[in-house]
Structure 1
C-alpha cells in the first residue's frame, strides 16, 4: 500500500510479553524479474527504509553460481569467482534473456501500448536492473552489480542492519568443468556436476569465492553457505568414495549421520557437506575471523532436513544453522530444531510467498503467525523471511515482522486483517471485507494458483477451480461494497489495487483456458512421427478460442495496478511468456495448419 501503517504495532491490547528474536531478517531472492534481480539503488533505498521501519535488523542475499539442469549457466554477478584467470559469464536476468523460461523481448515490442509503463534505460531497450541492461561486457556486469551491492551493504549498516552474502558450496560455474587437473575434480550427478572438496582445483574455486566476498564487501557481517537445491541428485557414492581423501573423511565422519530416514546417499551428502562447510569455515577464520558463518538449504527430507542433526554433531558451534521451511512454506520448521537450538543459534526461514505463484496474491497471514510463534516456542534465535515481491506481500511481510518482535502476542488472524483493513481500506472494509480475506487466508483456497516462475509458461498456469472462482468473485463483491462506503482517496486507490489483483486472476484463468486448444494441437503436430490429421471442427474451435481470449484486457488490468518495481517485473514476465506464446500459437495456426492439407 502507498501508505504503510501496520496498526498492530499500536494496538493497546497487544503487550510484548516475550523477548523479540535476536535476528529478524529478510532474504530477498535474486533470480526472477519480480524480485531484486531487477532492482536499482532507489528500490533498495525504499526497501531498506521499509525494513528499518518494521524492525528488520538482518538482510541476506543468495548468489547462484551454476548447478545442474536449467541452473547450469545460471551465474549471478554479486560474487566474482575468478580462478586461474577464468572469469565465468554472469549477469542478472533482464527481458532479453531466456533463463527461467522467459521468452526474450524488447520493451518496444510489448503490445497494446504497454511499453509506456517501462522506462528503457539509456536506449538499451530491455527491462531489468540498470547494472544489467547498461553493461556492455561481462566484466562490466560484475563491476556494476558489485558496485550496487556495495552500496546496499553501506545502506544496511546505516540502518543498523547486518548483511550476509551467500553462495552454494560445491557448485561452480560451467567454465570450470574443463580446467580440471584431476579426473575426480567432480562427480557426475543427475544433470549436475558435484565438486570434490578434496580436489585442489575445487578447493581453489571455493577459496576464490570467499576471497572475493571478503575483498569486495568490506565490513560484511556474515557469509552464508547454502546447500544446493539439486546438486546431489543421482551421485553414486561408491564412485565418489574411490577418492582416498574423501574415503578417509567419510570413514571418520559417517557415524554422525546414522539417523532415522538417512539412507546411504543422504549419508554421503551429509559428510560431503560437512567437508565443504568445514573447509569454508576454516578459511574464513584464517582470512577474516570477524565474519560470522551461517549455513542454509532447502527443507525437503531429500535435501537438507535430515542432515542437520548430523551436521550439528560435527561442525563448530559458532556456525548458525538455518533452513527454508519445507514445501515452500506450507509447513513450519522441523521439530528437531528445538534440540539443535540448545547447542547453537538456529534460524527458521518462513516463506512470505511461494515462487510457484508469483503472479498472484498469496494470503499467508495465518501460516506466518503460527510459524513465527512456533520458532519462538522452540527457542530459535532468529527468523528470516524469504520473498521476491514487495507490494503483493505487504500483509504477509508486516505480520511476519510483528510476530518477530512480539511472538507472545495473542492477536488472531482475524484481528490482523481487521486492523489492516481499517487503515488501508477504511472502517467499512474492517467490518465487511476483513472477514472475507481472513477466511480465505485460513482455508488456503487461494494460496497456490499456479504461476511457477521457475518454469516456462504452459496453459496449466492460472487455472482456477470452481471454489477459487467463487472466492475471487466473493472478494471482488466485498471490495465493491467498500468502495461505495466513502473511503478516503488513498483507501479508494488501495481498494482499486486489490480488486485489480483478483480481476487479473479471473482473466488469467480465461486466457490460459483459451490458449489451451491451440497449444494442444501444436503439441500433437510436433510430437507426431508422421503428418497429423486434425479435424476441421477442432481446428475451427481452437482458432476461435485463441481469437476470443481476453489477453489484452488481462494485461491492461495488471498494468493498471503497478505501483512497485516487482509488479513491473511481473508485467514484463507476463508479456514475455503469455503474449509471447500467444504470438507463436497464432503464427503456428496460420502457417502450419490453416495453410496445409492436415484437415479432413
Structure 2
C-alpha cells in the first residue's frame, strides 16, 4: 500500500512541476533567405501582416544568418523534397517552419498559417475576426498539404451586369489576389461570338507588332445604356429610385473598357479601341496574376463564328468565309494576336450551347469536330505557344460524350459545365475518358435564373468535387457572376480541392456508379429558340424555347390522376398542314391531328389540355406520333391529385417542364435524354462543418453555430434529383431575362412561412460582439431581408394580376371606378412602397460590383423591361377615369443609414502600380466634411491624414501614399451629421492594409 502511495505522490509531483513549465516562447522574428523572389517576399510580408492583425505583435522580417532569434518563423523553399504546389508547417527547435515546393507554394503556406490564426479568405475580401488570437504562434497547427487537383480555378461568366462585364482593373486584380489566398491557380474566360471583346477574331495582317488590332467589328459589354440584351433595358442611372443614383459617377455606368463608346462602338476606330483596351487590361491583369502562380485561359465558341465585317475582309481577298482556308487564317490571326498582346497559358474552344438541350444533328457534330481540328492544327503549326482545351455545356454529344477524346492530343484538357445549371451531377463520361487526359468539370457556383437572389450550393459542390476526384479529374473550375452573396459556395469549392477526408465518406474508395435509366427522361428532340414575338402571352421565353422531332417523355410523378396541358407556338411554318401529329398519354391516343397553325396561326401561344389520366406506376408516359412534318412542343403542365394511400388522403400536385429551355418561373428545365448518375444518393453532401467554420469566423463564436444551422437549412435541394425542393426561397426566375421577380398567386400569409428564417436571424443580432462581426452579419441580414421583400412583392403582384382579371369582368363604369379606388389603388401604392423597401435593403449590401449589378438588373429589367410595377397603369387610368395619384411614384431620396463604400477593395498591389482608391458616400449632405484617409506603416507610429478629393457628387478618391517595401494599414473616416463613420467598420482597432509585390 505504501508503494502505491509513493507512486501516486510522484505522479502528483510531476503534474505539479509540469504545470509550472515555462510557456514556450512565441516567435520574435520572421526569417527569409537572401535575395528572395517577389513571391517569397510577399509570403513573409503576408505572415507579418496577419500575425499583427490577429495578435497585435509586429514581427520584423530579416534574412537568414543575421542574428537568428531563439524562436522564429522560418520561410523556406524546398523544391527537392516538396512538389511545386505542396507545402508543410512544422515546429522544430522552438521555431515554426513554413516550407513550400516553390515560391507559390510558400505563399500558400503563409495563407494556411493565417487561417490557423483564425483568418478566413473569400473572393470579396479577408475575414479578420474581432476577437484576437490568444494561442501560441507555434502551436496553432502543423501538417503536410498537397492539392487534390492540379488546376483549381474560376470562370467569371460575362453577359450580365452582376458579372465581369462591369469589372474594372481593381476587381480583376482583387479577384486574383483573393483566389490565391484560397489556393486557387486557374482563371478563365468564355467569349460569346460578337458580344464580348475577350478574344478578337481577325486576320494576321490586321494588327500591329504589339498586337493592337487595326481592323475589327462591333462588340461591347453590359452597360446601362445598352438596350435589349438578355432583357435589360437602357436606363439612365439618375432614374433609379431611393437615391441609388448616388452609387454611380455618371448617368451611364459601364466598364472602363467601353466608356465613351456606348452603347456600341461606331466606326473602325472605336471598334478597334474596345479590343485594344481589353488587350491592355489582359496584359496588365494577367501579368499581375502570373506573379501569384495563376494560369490563364480564354477562348471562343466552336464552330468559329465569323463577324460580318471580317467576312467582307475575307471576300476582298477572294477567300470564301466558310472555307477551311478562311478558318485557318482566322485562327492564326487569333493566336498571333494573343501571343503579341498578353500572357495566356491555355486557349479553349466551347462546343455549341444547343447541345445541352438535345441530341445535335450529324452536321452540327461534324462541323464542330472539323473546326476543333483546324484550330488545333494551326496552334501546333505555330509551335503550341499555349495549351489547348475543349469545353462546353456538355462534355460531348449525348450519344457519345467522350467523342473528342479521340481527336485531341493527350496533353489537351477536356471540360464541361454541369447540365441544368448544376442541378445534374457531373457527366458520367469523365470516368470513361483516357487516363492520360486532363479532365476538368466546370461547376455552377450559382445559376442565372435566380441571379438576383442569394444561392447556397455548398453541399452540392462538395458532392460534385468528391465525385470528380473519384472519377480521376485533375481540375475543377467554378462558374459564377457575383462574389459576396455566394461566399460559402466559393469557399466550399476551394476547400474541397485540397481536403475531403473530414466530410467525404467515400474518399479514397474506388469510383463506382450504376448507370441506370431514369423514369424522368425525354426521348428524342432537337432544342431551339426562335426569338420571335409570341402573341397572346407574356411568357416569351417559354414559348420560344421548344424542341422538334420529339418522340416523347417518361415523367416521374406520384401515383394519382392528372391532366396534361401542352404549350405550343408555331414559329416555323406559315400555312396549315405543314406539321400535324398525334399525342398519346399512358399509351392511349387522346389528342389527334394537332395542327397548331390551323388552330392559332403563326407566332401565337396555343394550349391543349388532355382529359384526366391515371398513373399507377409512378411514370406518366407521353408519346408523339408524326403525321406530316416534325413534331414539336414548348412545354407541358401536369396537374391533378395524388392517390390516397391507406388513410392518408391525396394532395394537389403540379409539375411544369419547359421543353427545350431552362428554369423559368415555376417551370423546371427540360428533362435529360441521358442516363442518370447516382440517383440513389442524396444530391447534396453534408455542409455542416463548412457553415459552422464560416459562421463562427464571420460573426463570432457567440452566434456562429446557430447561424450555421440556419444557413445550412437554406443550402441545396431536397432529395436525390437536384432540381426539386429548393431550400432557399427563389422569388426570381428567368422571364424576360435572368433574375426577374415573378408574380406569385399564393397569398403572402402562406408564402411568408418560407422566410421565417429571417426573423430567426434578427433575433440573434443582439448577441453579436465586435464591430466587424456586426457589419458582416448586417450584410447577410440585409441580403435576406431584401430576399423576403422580393417574395412579398411577388405575392403582391400576383394579387394585382388577380384583381385586374376581376376588374375586366365588371360591366359598368361606376363598378370599375369604385373597384379601382377601393381595391386596386391601395395595392398599387403599397407595391411602390414595398419596392422602395427592397431597394433600401439592397443598397445596404453594396460592397462589390456584383451587388451593383443586382441593382441594375432589378431596376432596368424587373421594373422597366418587365413592367413589374407599371404594367397595368394605363389600363387603370382608363378604368379610373383620371390620372393615378402621385403616391404610385417612387422616391428618389436615399433614406437609409449613411455608409462609406470602397467598391472591390484591394489588398495586394503590383510593384510599381499607381493606385487610386475611390470611396462612395451614401447619406451625405452638402455641409458634410470630406472623407479622410488615415494611414501608417503597419503597427508603427501615429496615423497620418489625407483629405480625399471629390470626383463627382458623393464620390471621392485618394492617391495612396508610397508604400514601397512596406505594408500600410489604413482606414477611411468621415463625419456625417455629427456621427463618425469608418471603413472598414472594425476601424481603428482592426484596419485594412496594402502590400506590394
Deviation at 1:215, TM superposition (A): 3.2
Partner of 1:167: 300
Counterpart Cα distance in 2 of 1:209 and 1:520: 55
Q: Does 1:273 align with 2:368?
A: yes
Deviation at 1:290, TM superposition (A): 3.0
SS at match of 2:272: helix
Deviation at 1:11, TM superposition (A): 12
Partner of 1:248: none
Partner of 1:215: 340
Counterpart Cα distance in 2 of 1:11 and 1:399: 26
Q: 2:483 aligns with which of 386, 390, 394?
A: 390
SS at match of 2:353: coil
Counterpart Cα distance in 2 of 1:174 and 1:522: 46
Partner of 2:257: 131
SS at match of 1:59: strand
Q: 2:447 aligns with which of 348, 354, 375?
A: 354
Length-normalised TM-score, structure 2: 0.49
Deviation at 1:547, TM superposition (A): 2.0
SS at match of 2:297: strand
Q: For the Cα contact (< 8 Å) 1:366–1:441, is it kept in 2?
A: yes
C-alpha change, 1:343 and 1:382, in structure 2 (3 Å) is same
Rg larger in structure: 2
Q: 1:568 aligns with which of 852, 857, 862?
A: 852
1:447-479 per-residue CA deviation (whole Å, 9 max, x = no partner) reads 7543438717755268989887434322x2332
Partner of 2:199: 79
Range 505-514 or range 564-573, more displaced: 505-514
Query: Which has more strand, going by share of residues?
Result: 2
Q: Does 1:414 align with 2:685?
A: no
Partner of 2:151: 23
Counterpart Cα distance in 2 of 1:418 and 1:101: 39
Q: For the Cα contact (< 8 Å) 2:197–2:219, is it kept in 1?
A: yes
What residue ranges of structure 1 are gaps of 5+ in the alignment? 67-74, 187-194, 234-261, 526-533
C-alpha change, 1:112 and 1:343, in structure 2 (3 Å) is same
Counterpart Cα distance in 2 of 1:463 and 1:171: 45
Partner of 1:578: 862
SS at match of 1:322: strand
Query: Which has more helix, going by share of residues?
Result: 1
1:356-383 per-residue CA deviation (whole Å, 9 max, x = no partner) reads 1111111111011111111111111100
What residue ranges of structure 2 are gaps of 5+ in the alignment? 1-123, 207-214, 263-269, 505-685, 719-725, 808-814, 883-997
1:239-282 per-residue CA deviation (whole Å, 9 max, x = no partner) reads xxxxxxxxxxxxxxxxxxxxxxx96x444433322111111011
1:205-229 per-residue CA deviation (whole Å, 9 max, x = no partner) reads 4444334333332x31110111131
SS at match of 2:258: helix
Deviation at 1:406, TM superposition (A): 1.5
Partner of 1:283: 378
Range 319-328 or range 107-116, more displaced: 107-116
Range 534-543 or range 317-326, more displaced: 534-543
SS at match of 2:373: helix
Q: Does 1:440 align with 2:535?
A: no
Q: 2:221 aligns with which of 92, 98, 106?
A: 92
Counterpart Cα distance in 1 of 2:749 and 2:424: 25
Range 585-594 or range 398-407, more displaced: 585-594
Deviation at 1:552, TM superposition (A): 0.7
Partner of 2:283: 150
1:425-467 per-residue CA deviation (whole Å, 9 max, x = no partner) reads 1213223221122122154411754343871775526898988
Q: For the Cα contact (< 8 Å) 2:328–2:378, is it kept in 1?
A: no
Counterpart Cα distance in 2 of 1:51 and 1:36: 15
CA RMSD between the two structures:
3.7
C-alpha change, 1:382 and 1:448, in structure 2 (3 Å) is farther
Aligned residues: 533
Q: For the Cα contact (< 8 Å) 2:353–2:392, is it kept in 1?
A: yes
Range 85-94 or range 322-331, more displaced: 85-94
Deviation at 1:413, TM superposition (A): 1.1
Length-normalised TM-score, structure 1: 0.79
Q: 2:412 aligns with which of 286, 299, 319?
A: 319
Counterpart Cα distance in 1 of 2:776 and 2:260: 34
C-alpha change, 1:371 and 1:583, in structure 2 (3 Å) is closer
C-alpha change, 1:130 and 1:461, in structure 2 (3 Å) is farther
Range 152-161 or range 14-23, more displaced: 14-23
1:506-517 pair list within 5 angstroms: 506-516=788-798
Counterpart Cα distance in 2 of 1:498 and 1:446: 14
Partner of 2:771: 489
Deviation at 1:56, TM superposition (A): 0.9
Q: For the Cα contact (< 8 Å) 1:298–1:304, is it kept in 2?
A: no
Counterpart Cα distance in 1 of 2:341 and 2:806: 52
1:577-599 per-residue CA deviation (whole Å, 9 max, x = no partner) reads 23322565365346665559xxx
C-alpha change, 1:29 and 1:115, in structure 2 (3 Å) is same
Counterpart Cα distance in 2 of 1:453 and 1:26: 27
C-alpha change, 1:138 and 1:480, in structure 2 (3 Å) is same
SS at match of 1:133: coil
C-alpha change, 1:284 and 1:448, in structure 2 (3 Å) is farther
Q: For the Cα contact (< 8 Å) 2:462–2:496, is it kept in 1?
A: yes
SS at match of 2:482: coil
- Which structure's relative contact order is higher, taking Cα pairs within 8 Å and 6+ residues apart? 1
Counterpart Cα distance in 2 of 1:462 and 1:404: 40
Q: For the Cα contact (< 8 Å) 2:156–2:480, is it kept in 1?
A: yes
C-alpha change, 1:487 and 1:462, in structure 2 (3 Å) is farther
Q: For the Cα contact (< 8 Å) 1:14–1:410, is it kept in 2?
A: no
1:242-281 pair list within 5 angstroms: 265-281=360-376
